Amino acid sequence: MIAFPPSLISGYQTFTSQRLPTEQSRFRELSERGQSPEVMVIGCCDSRVSPEVIFDASPGELFVVRNIANLVPVYQPDGGAHGVSAALEYAVQVLKVKHIVVLGHAQCGGIRAFVDNAAPLSPGDFIGRWMSMFIKPGEKVEIRDHESMTEFATRIEKAAVFRSLENLATFPFVSSKVERGELQLHGAYFGVALGSLSVLDQEAKEFVPVV
């Protein structure tokens, strides 16, 4: 007998009995003509922060890539395997999305491991190496005077959104489309406890709550 997670089987059965009948034509259309989402979301792997749920998106509306701490690396065509860069290239060059949203969130485990300078979880220290891209050479990230650890973590969670937006601009195929007005870059921050959403005002460099 296949030991597939029972909760997933149950969820699929609910999907086929409730949601699929109302969206069968949409799935069939997407199957025949392919996907054409206008928005790409770069989010965190955290199970509490699902872009499709937060934005109440239907199938085919969002092109989503998720990783630890919603980070985007700098443009580095070095012949290595770069999952986020590959997804970005496909979204911009093939799907021709019009918006890219970097979605940060509260209580991010990757950010917490970074600010706590946590010990490696494995000999490869994959999380530590991944999070190291957040820091520019010679840059120091330290807790400020009179700042609690929670406040420090929140500040860095939001700073990660800024850094990912900066790194997006290093991709020639992104920056050229932004300059031509064919692509817009956005930042957002999700508060898990309250389900709150703030979007980045890039001129003021602050997150503004969505009412």
Q: Which two tokens stand for residue 81?
A: 């395997």
For residue 64, what pLDDT is reported? 98
Q: What pLDDT score was predicted for residue 186?
A: 98
C-alpha 184/C-alpha 175 separation (Å) is 10
Q: Which domains does the chain have, with CATH numbers?
A: 1-34 (no CATH), 35-209 (3.40.1050.10)
Assign 162 to helix, strand or coil: helix
User: Average of pLDDT values for 53-75?
Assistant: 97
- DSSP one-letter code for 209: E
132-179 pLDDT, tens digit per residue, is 988 888 888 899 999 999 999 999 999 999 999 999 999 999 999 999
